[in-house]
Amino acid sequence: MAVLEAHLVTKSFVEGREQVPVLRGISLELERGEVAILEGPSGSGKTTLLFILGCLLTPTSGRVVVEGEQVDPRRPARLPGLRQRSIGFVFQQFNLFSALTAMENVEYALNIKGITGSSARREAGRLLEAVEMSDRRRARPRDLSGGQKQRVAIARALAGEAAIILADEPTANIDPRLAGRVLELFQRLAKDEDRAILIVSHDPKARVVADRVMQIQDGCLIE
């Protein structure tokens, strides 16, 4: 059974007096244990679709279903809880809290999922070790390189037991050796922890861990 579904999703943005279509009736399903790659040229709608699937953006039409629950844009108060419970998001721009250390950024993500105290500290340490950031756990974002921030962002997205991981260019700021390790980590999470993972990527190495590759062209999905 699919853990994430999109049914005839469209999205248009207003520019002046015109409606500019970005997504044109996209339907897809993502299952537990699957790593899917979403490719496409800049401006094709990849990130827009990822944000809609992650309940961060409302479609113009169509519907999204997360773990069997249809996302209702008329009830926005329910969306934060749905995201916290079901979705881990790796943002291209990191979105780390500047006042918190790397460790605290990951701990915070665990805290809002109900994991606190020593349990949160142990799990945050394990996740930072998995992305090779244990030695920078006390550093704040201003003291980290782009690649290091990306790794903290990945560790934060993996916090808790979210069934779905959505990653926007997760290897864009990481050196090739570590990029391969991160992709292998996503693959292990899918296979060993039965998570569904959707990665937006221009990195051809991502195809190595993919069960399926999809492409967006002119707002349409091609498999």
Ordered per-residue pLDDT tens for the chain, 223 residues:
799 999 999 999 988 888 899 999 999 999 999 999 999 988 899 999 999 999 999 999 999 999 999 998 888 888 888 888 899 999 888 899 999 999 999 999 999 888 999 999 999 999 999 888 999 999 999 999 988 998 899 899 988 889 999 999 988 878 888 888 889 889 988 999 899 999 999 888 899 999 999 999 989 998 7
Q: How far apart are CA 3 and CA 67, in angstroms?
A: 5
Task: Check residue 14 and give its pLDDT.
Answer: 87
- 174 contact partners, CB below 8 Å, separation of at least 6: 147, 150, 151, 182
Cα–Cα distance, 189 to 53 (Å, whole number)? 19
Query: What pLDDT is recorded for position 221?
Result: 94
| CA 155 to chain CA centroid, nearest Å | 11
pLDDT at position 84: 86
Burial status of residue 176 (CB atoms within 10 A of its CB: 0-12, 13-18, 19 or more)? exposed
Q: From residue 128, give the alpha-carbon distance in Å to each of 45, 55, 132.
A: 31, 26, 6
What's the pLDDT at 46? Answer: 93
pLDDT at 205: 86
**pTM here?**
0.90
Task: Tell me what pLDDT residue 8 has.
Answer: 97
At residue 93, the pLDDT reads: 83
Q: What is the pLDDT of residue 15?
A: 83
DSSP helix/strand/coil, 155: helix
Q: What is the pLDDT of residue 172?
A: 82
pLDDT of residue 9: 97
Pick the CATH number of 2-96+156-222 from 3.40.30.10, 3.40.50.300, 3.90.550.10, 3.30.200.20: 3.40.50.300
Backbone angles phi, psi at 46, to 5 degrees: -60, -55
